[in-house]
Amino acid sequence: MIQIHGIILAAGKGTRMNSSKPKVLQILSDKTLLGHVLTQVQKLCSKVHVVYGFGGDQVRKHINDDSINWVEQANQLGTGHAVQQAMPHIDDDSISLVLYGDVPLIEKSTLNNLITQAQHNGVALLSVVLDNPVGYGRIIRQNNQIQSIIEQKDANKEQLAICEVNTGIMAVNSGLLKTYLDGLDSNNAQGELYLTDIIEMAVSDGKTVASVITDNEFEVAGVNDKVQLAELERTLQQNQATRFMQQGLMLKDPARFDCRGNLSFGQDCEVDVNVVVEGKVTLGDNTTIAPNCVIKNTIIGSNVSILPNSVIEGAIIGDGASIGPFARIRPEANIGENAKIGNFVEVKKSTIGKGSKVSHLSYVGDTTIGDDVNIGAGVITCNYDGANKHQTTIKDGAFVGSDTQLIAPVTIGKNATIGAGSTITKDVPDSHLSLSRSRQTTLKNWERPTKK
């Protein structure tokens, strides 16, 4: 089986990004631009070579993939020169697939088609027809066969009117590619070694250049500034939303939904506007997410209601639970079946038992709450002493009155009751009432101070 070598050109600085990061490390959805390309290429290629230049240490550190052959292009002397840097690592009897680290939406199926054409013809080129081709190299054809590529700066008026343009992505027999690269010169408007010149060489050599034309211009769109990055973000999100709806997810407005990771869902789930999904998120059946929620790396069960303006990260939400509105569920929270976490409640590294309620204005941290517990408004588990975190345990059926502070480590017994306004510093036995309040004092004939 013939080997496929992916060559990703990623040496550019990306000046128009106005960023300290190399262009290929700009983020699109949940990945870098280069990361998106690698995801597709690594499915097809036996070996991937990344040609890096500006910010190379940053790029290598961020990607952190030992399977990649990193090749430095110390001086940026054109695309042909960039590909030359990788060729010593590639066998002649393989196929070289040339891509760009700032073209993130390229599809695996398109690349597979390109590779197949190169195996039959030796050279295959990916092009696209644009309504506005300004800035791109034009495809020159004769009798419908590709003859050459002329760059924008070198094109005459007639050539500039051509709408079929070069994407820069090609697949070439590696032995042929090495020969053609050795014949490149810099006699052009930019004084660089153009990779595109190998097309004319191949034609002169009697080769037929196979043509693959994509009808999706965003698939081959490069990113040069933040405006283009935002345009591709919206395209990616729209494509994801369409796919999710086709699979059965109800999106109230697909234009106002972002998935920056992986979302899986059961039947009859509904997501309202301005919801952001990050990382790996799973929804059961019949679960609804209300507007303005952020859900990250979380497993949500069936028949769950996530109410507006809630933020959930690194948690497990049991079947039938209700979260929010305005709730914050932090990492390592496990919310049990039919539990209720209400408005302005924060839960961190805690387990909330089946049917328990923390309805409003409370903080629960480093706590284990049993089943059918009721936590009143304004209750705080004081888990941090300034140096260490401590555990609170609240057993089944307990009732904690409003505005109570539980000073950890402390255990509240089964079916115990804590009177409102208490500060609890000692364990409370099962089925007991505990409270700690100062005695109320009422003064007769007291006069409120008046302003002088």
Measured from the Cβ of residue 20, the count of other Cβ atoms closer than 10 Å reads 8
3-state secondary structure of 138: strand
Which one-letter amino acid corresponds to residue 100? Y
3-state secondary structure of 152: helix
Beta bridge partners of 7: 49, 98
The Cα 162–Cα 134 span in angstroms is 10
Catalytic site residue from 5, 360, 390, 432: 360
Quote the radius of gyration of the chain (alpha carbons, Å): 31
Q: Quick one: 391 exposed, middle or buried, by C-beta within 10 A (0-12, 13-18, 19+)?
A: middle
Q: What would the two tokens of residue 77 be? A: 């002397």
CA neighbor of 347 nearest in space, from 266, 359, 242, 162: 359
Q: What would the two tokens of residue 70 be? A: 């990193």
250, 257 in Cβ contact below 8 A?
A: no
Beta bridge partners of 275: 257
171, 211 in Cβ contact below 8 A?
A: no
Packed helices 174-182 and 197-204: angle between N→C axes, nearest 10 degrees: 110
Q: Is-catalytic flag, 49?
A: no
The Cα 129–Cα 117 span in angstroms is 19
The Cα 291–Cα 305 span in angstroms is 12
Those residues with Cβ within 8 angstroms of residue 427's Cβ, 6 or more apart along the chain or in another chain: 410, 411, 412, 413
Helices (H), 162-266: 174-182, 197-204, 226-246
The Cα 230–Cα 261 span in angstroms is 17
Measured from the Cβ of residue 326, the count of other Cβ atoms closer than 10 Å reads 16
Residues known to be catalytic: 360
